[in-house]
Amino acid sequence: MPDKHLPSPVVSLASEKPATMMAQLRAVWPDVERALNVGHTLRVIHRRLNKMGIPITYRRLTVYRGRLQREKEKSGWSPAKAQTVVPPIAAGKDGTSALGSKAFDPLRNFREQEKKRVVWQYPSGPPDESKLV
């Protein structure tokens, strides 16, 4: 008579490490995407994956990342359907958090440069012939 306390062999598979590298990466891919969206580099993520027992080379990680992105595009995934990234500390209107320090914003420098950007526009009307060479 089988013991009712032991899980079936199929149920126990859910707690085991997948056999293929791609399956192992798929298991942690949502966490990898969140780390990338927050601003971590693929190099840092690669080191962390190796530390947690997924012995993948950086080159193979870049290849698998491309495959996973193409799979998402084929399945109809869009950024609008993606989970929104919430910064660790919510920022106020002036960019400071409730603690008074600057909130984490990976695009802060880009936004500041966009404000300073001067857009050159063509003058209206015909060109001034005295300025032509």
Q: Output phi, psi for 104, to 5 deg.
A: -70, 120
Question: Above 50 in pLDDT, residue 116?
Answer: yes
**Cross-strand bridge partners of residue 96:** 102
Tell me, yes or no, if the pTM score tops 0.85: no
Do 90 and 113 lie in a common domain?
yes
| Same domain assignment for residues 28 and 64 | yes
Q: Do 15 and 51 sit in the same domain of this protein?
A: yes
Half-sphere exposure of residue 130, counting CA atoms within 13 Å on the CB side? Answer: 0
When computed from its CA atoms, the radius of gyration of the chain, rounded to whole angstroms, is 25
Question: Binning pLDDT at 50, 70 and 90, where does residue 102 land?
Answer: low
Q: How buried is 65 (Cβ within 10 angstroms: 0-12 exposed, 13-18 middle, 19+ buried)?
A: middle
Q: Is residue 34 part of a domain?
A: yes
The position carrying tokens 């063509």 is: 122
pLDDT at 78: 52
By CB atoms closer than 10 A (0-12, 13-18, 19+), residue 11 is: exposed
Quick check: is 123 in a domain?
A: no
Q: Is residue 110 part of a domain?
A: yes
Tell me the pLDDT tens digit for each residue of 75-96: 875 544 555 454 444 445 555 5
Same-domain check for residues 67 and 14: yes
Asked if the structure places residue 4 within a domain, the reply is no
Same domain, 16 and 69: yes
Task: Give yes or no: residues 60 and 102 share one domain.
Answer: no
**Strand, helix or coil for residue 126:** coil
Are 95 and 52 found together in one domain? no
pLDDT digits (tens, 9 = 90+) for 12-51: 777 777 788 888 899 899 999 999 999 999 999 999 999 9
For residue 98, CA distances in Å to 101, 102, 108 come to 8, 9, 18
Q: What integer pLDDT is reported at residue 101 of this predicted model?
A: 55
Question: Does residue 1 belong to any structural domain of this protein?
Answer: no
CA distance 98 to 77: 35
The domain total for the chain is 2
Q: Which residue segment(s) compose the domain that 106 sits in?
A: 86-117
State both tokens at 25. Answer: 């990466």
Do residue 40 and residue 91 come from a single domain? Answer: no
